[in-house]
Chains A and B, each alone.
Chain A
């Protein structure tokens, strides 16, 4: 793991790292990746069906009463109360494009 790879991953993760942290992360990631590399030795079937326990896909109807959208605006105030910056019932963020 090189410092450049660390920078690339940090940018993908949208997370700013300090310089000293980057240095120690090189070591930490090296140890952790070395540890998880053990899975490469496992003799396993690669393309079987993926599940945890008995869960299977669950669908509900698109339309009421089972599904469909709730009445617009009924949760807006409660949710916006937590927003750091909001205005006129909207979240306010910096320019995206």
Chain B
């Protein structure tokens, strides 16, 4: 059976694998062929992958054994890619940075342990903005990744490689991390589904930390059903990550979502291009036609989300990145004395965006500024969270555009940090609140004669993923 990995879903692959229509080895080979042709040809290429693992077919052969023995699980034999900040024992992981060039992970992240327990086929590690700082994958120390739809444009970031890998059919599903929008924004720019789960619902053990109160691992997939399969396989309380929560610790959200909250004041305050606004309005009309009730909601402090995030995130990042000191792992450069070793190792190992954010983080946490910035930002964060909690008394899910526009050109924003930060305007609030949010494809707008995708974002209360999947599937016409 001919395998078209650009169209094959995880759910369908499961059926075909179990029915013996094709083997996991054949499926893995089809993925490797796509990578050879589209990702890493002699010239050009998408460059979504930093490394394709050398044991892919071996993993697939093992999966075939499980399938033949009647022991297949949801992800057995399914080709998956991991963002370069997720540890897999014996494999390299660099977080897109030179300071970790050559680093080999000594243990499996919980995510990888769960994927291995199902005999998924982990194809390789994907490109990302350095230390997950960025919205375009242009900040990778290993070069940018192109958007498969228009290779002069970015795939989004920081999980751009994982998004591009799914879009081009190099894998059937992938994982990214979302700290300020780094799964949802690339999903929108690539026209696929990207889920940021509830903070604490997926273990961060073995995910290189960026902003520990903001980070979460989540899936990229072609449709909502596949995203749900990937989420279900990887969620759960983990004794190795004390910030993980039990599903049972929450009162369940309403069984069937009916009311959709629209933050009109917030939307009207942001300049969206006419066609982007029209695309979002068309999504609202579609939701009404599907039988949902649209409710206007207010989020009085949400416009402080991006400035608040850019206090909290750099503060936490500067603290988390302090471990890269050249003593225990990664790049080591000699300087004068121990202090000199630190200054040179970190001075030469970090790229421009980590340096900027480490400096901002150091500033907002330093004596004399801690109260005015970090403490105040946390207070604003609580206010934003309260706004969303109150809004969810009036509706079951909230919708917004995922981004203010489609994929921009490579090089367009990379020299303007604040312009890049504003890419996150609709996404950061869900990291500040910890609430789950998904981006699903909502159609396209034309730029320079190319149709570029946009995303609709659906946000739910904590542990409300079921509501998100419900609305998302209906919107995309999935069974």
Contact = CB atoms under 8 A, between A and B. Distances in A.
Contact of B376 (A46, A54, A82, A84): A46
Q: Which of A16, A48, A52 gathers most chain B CB within 10 Å?
A: A52
Contacts of A44: 301, 376, 379-380, 382-383
Given A39-B376, A40-B372, A48-B382, A13 B433 contact: no
Contacts of A42: 301, 304, 376, 379-380, 383
A23 interface: no
A94 B344 CA distance: 14
Given A21-B355, A52-B213, A95 B301 contact: no
B307 A36 contact: yes
Nearest to A58: B242
A65 to B, nearest CB: 12
A13 B318 contact: yes
A63 interface: no
Nearest to A86: B328
Interface size bracket, A side: 35 or more
B221 to A, nearest CB: 24
Interface of A: 6, 9-10, 12-17, 21, 25, 28-29, 31-33, 35-40, 42, 44-48, 50-55, 58, 60, 75, 78-79, 81-85, 91, 93-96
18 contacts: A13-B318, A15-B343, A16-B347, A17-B355, A25-B356, A28-B356, A32-B421, A35-B306, A39-B376, A39-B380, A44-B301, A52-B213, A53-B433, A53-B434, A55-B245, A58-B243, A94-B341, A96-B338
Interface of B: 103-104, 106-107, 198-200, 213-214, 239, 242-243, 245, 249-250, 301, 304, 306-308, 310-311, 318, 322, 325-332, 335, 337-339, 341-344, 346-348, 350, 355-356, 358-360, 362-364, 366, 372-373, 375-380, 382-383, 385, 417-418, 421, 432-435, 462-463
